[in-house]
Structure 1
Amino acid sequence: MKHRKKLIAIILTLILTVSLAACGGDSDSDAKNKLTIAHQYGMAYAPLQVMKEQKLIEKYYDGVEIEWSVLNSGSAITEGFAGGSIDVGAMGVGPAITGITSGVPYKICSNMSAQPHKIMTNNPKIKSLKDIKDEKIALVNMGSFQHIVLAMAAKEQLGDAHALDNNIVAMSHPDGMSALLSGSVDCQLTTSPYVFKEAAETGISEVEALESVWPSGNSFIVAVASTSLQEENPELYDAVVKAFDDAIEFLNSNTKEAAEMLCEAEDVDAATMEKWLKDKDCVYSTETKGLMDFANFMSDNGFLENDGPKDISDLVFDNVKGN
């Protein structure tokens, strides 16, 4: 009887050991099949909405579980990458360059979009940057794409890249629009769809300043992926890249259908969204444009704590095309 009990105990121990090992294997497998994607607000991120709606990553990688997260800034997304909680993200080229040169473990895996950027004002006396004295300018945050573009314009037109730094009030695009319309701030440097919405408001006009420093079509939003995803799960990484290709192709080839998909998020009708998507400055492409020019400006004007990139390969994975 004692021998029988001992044998049963041994068998149960073996079963438990095998079960735990199996659970451990499932856990590792689950980890490889999970993906956290973070992005921000606005039309610039439309490829990700298409990817989500059409399940494009799932099309190329069976069984992947995706968690979608919306954050207020590129810096918040960078913090997620640094903490290991985000695998793929979308942000302005400024925060992306800052993160990469600071050693955050990600690189650009695809370009996403160029979008119209304008400085909008509720003050009819402000026609150019030279008219801005103590007036407040709302933009996403210090070090954002909008901040760097403002600095480019300030250097060209005022002689000092940081001449307007003290005028900046950090606000998300939606909050900045509300502040501009209510008169809480005098100006907002923003992008689509907010520039379109603000232009339709009585008493709001554009401050001519940005076109000469950042031409239409130059990169605004890029997608970044963690180096661990690219190195440890290249099949899933490739699925993400292919999904970006498909989403951007869809946006460029099916504008009317895309407008119907995107209009609800921006609280407009499909016809209005289609008009916005056809704006000459609204460009969706997987190829980067002007990336090294942006990085060199940041390096030359004190926006990077570390050395700037020597070559575009320092910023992008091998599959990315552009300059």
Structure 2
Amino acid sequence: MYKRILWLALSAGLIVTTQLAHAEANELRIAKQYGISYLPMLIIEADKLVEKHAKAAGLGDIKVTWATFAGANVMNDALLSNSLDIASAGVPPAITLWDKTRGDVKLIAAMNSMPNLLNTRNPRIKSIRDFTDKDKIAVPAVKVGFQPVVLQMAALQTFGEGQQFKLDPLTVSLAHPDGLAALVSGVGEITAHFTAPPFSQRELETQGIHTVLNSYDVLGGPATFNVLYGSRRFHDNNPKLYAAFLKAYEEATATINRDKRAAAQRYLELSKDKDSVEDIYKIVSDPQVIFTTTPQNVTKFSDFLFKIGSIKQKPASWKDLFFPEVHALPGS
């Protein structure tokens, strides 16, 4: 009798343990940043697409919590502290975290490819050779963000071996909207801003502001700008919720590509930006602006970061950086 009771207790415990082991999270914590590149995230949030796909997967009512961060450094800290499940930022900070965690953080999918512009109000500056200690360049996250890493690439190309960090002392961390405001104000220490659409285009509408550098020129053509990334723990423990998010992102991306004018209208509606529909439509319909989950030339960043010692591991291919769900895409 005792043995039978013990067996039943152990069996019950095993069943409960098995059920707990397969229980998925009932909350998803996602972070985004500012600009047109985050339009798919705005659509996912507004249309509750994660909730929709999670329910279709049998997960019931999932709580989705959203946060908006100013830069990738804060995003990475939140991911490392387990206060965030899915981050979204430029390619370099995602690769840096992949390296730092020895692959415990991986990339989920690409978000887009689009050129970033380094704009200045200093008429004397025609190229990055002309910057001096009197200039300050606003970027979302110094050293680790997309823009400062592209600036490091440009410095290496322009000034030669060992000079990749030459312009780093001039960079200042400011969110895209704050960098825009500082540059167009015409006063203060910020004389340049390396930024993304629509902020880069809006700056050029101000008299006296011109472009010094285009990220596509540095990278030799189109390359992924933003990516989604998260922890292996979240990926492995929540396969259905992870898949629901990926489907939500694919749906939002398809929505943008299906009707670019409607996408421009949605951006203004959801971001509360003051641009015109025509101005935003001009950006999202630009052939150089691509909303896609397919990685494009991400190894240009990992090769560079490895070369200059910013990461210790060099991925053999882009697939080493990404979770397997996107490995069938024609990435690079």
Report the TM-score when normalising by structure 2: 0.84
Q: 2:234 aligns with which of 206, 211, 229?
A: 229
Report the identity percentage. Answer: 30
**Cα offset, 1:92, TM superposition:** 0.6
Q: Distance in 2 between matches of 1:181 and 1:124?
A: 14
Structure 1 position 269 matched with structure 2 position 270: no
Output aligned runs, 1:92-171, within 5 Å.
Answer: 92-103=90-101, 105-134=104-133, 135-140=135-140, 141-159=142-160, 160-171=163-174
**Cα offset, 1:33, TM superposition:** 1.6
Distance 1:45 1:209, change over 3 A: closer
**Cα offset, 1:86, TM superposition:** 0.8
SS at match of 1:187: strand
- Structure 1 alignment gaps of length 5 or more: 1-21
Q: 2:304 aligns with which of 289, 297, 301?
A: 297
Residues 14-37 of structure 1 show CA distances to partners (whole Å, capped at 9, x for unaligned) of: xxxxxxxx9xx99x96x7121000
Q: Distance in 1 between matches of 2:286 and 2:213?
A: 18
Q: Distance in 2 between matches of 1:211 and 1:201?
A: 23
- What residue identity is the alignment partner of 2:172? V
Q: Distance in 2 between matches of 1:50 and 1:272?
A: 19
- Is the contact made by 2:116 and 2:214 (CA closer than 8 Å) also made in structure 1? no
Structure 1 position 41 matched with structure 2 position 28: no
- What residue identity is the alignment partner of 2:107? I
- What residue identity is the alignment partner of 1:228? R
Report the TM-score when normalising by structure 1: 0.87
**Cα offset, 1:43, TM superposition:** 0.9
Q: Distance in 2 between matches of 1:58 and 1:143?
A: 32
- What residue identity is the alignment partner of 2:148? H
Output aligned runs, 1:252-267, within 5 Å.
Answer: 252-264=257-269, 265=271, 266-267=273-274
Output aligned runs, 1:76-87, within 5 Å.
Answer: 76-87=74-85
**Cα offset, 1:158, TM superposition:** 1.6
**Cα offset, 1:216, TM superposition:** 4.3
- What residue identity is the alignment partner of 1:117? N
Structure 1 position 284 matched with structure 2 position 291: yes
Structure 1 position 307 matched with structure 2 position 301: no
- Is the contact made by 1:40 and 1:72 (CA closer than 8 Å) also made in structure 2? yes
Q: Distance in 1 between matches of 2:229 and 2:71?
A: 14
Q: Distance in 2 between matches of 1:61 and 1:109?
A: 17
2:180 corresponding residue in structure 1:
177
- What residue identity is the alignment partner of 1:270? V
**Cα offset, 1:88, TM superposition:** 1.1
Larger Rg: 1
**Cα offset, 1:59, TM superposition:** 2.0
- What residue identity is the alignment partner of 1:66? V
**Cα offset, 1:240, TM superposition:** 1.0
Output aligned runs, 1:238-257, within 5 Å.
Answer: 238-257=243-262
- Is the contact made by 1:116 and 1:216 (CA closer than 8 Å) also made in structure 2? no
**Cα offset, 1:167, TM superposition:** 1.4
Q: Distance in 2 between matches of 1:209 and 1:263?
A: 25
2:52 corresponding residue in structure 1:
59
- What residue identity is the alignment partner of 1:41? Y
- Is the contact made by 2:113 and 2:296 (CA closer than 8 Å) also made in structure 1? no
1:15 corresponding residue in structure 2:
none
Q: Distance in 1 between matches of 2:155 and 2:290?
A: 25
**Cα offset, 1:164, TM superposition:** 0.9
**Cα offset, 1:116, TM superposition:** 2.1
- Is the contact made by 2:72 and 2:144 (CA closer than 8 Å) also made in structure 1? no
C-alpha RMSD of matched pairs (Å): 2.0
Q: Which runs of 4+ in 1 moved over 6 A?
A: none
- Is the contact made by 1:114 and 1:219 (CA closer than 8 Å) also made in structure 2? yes
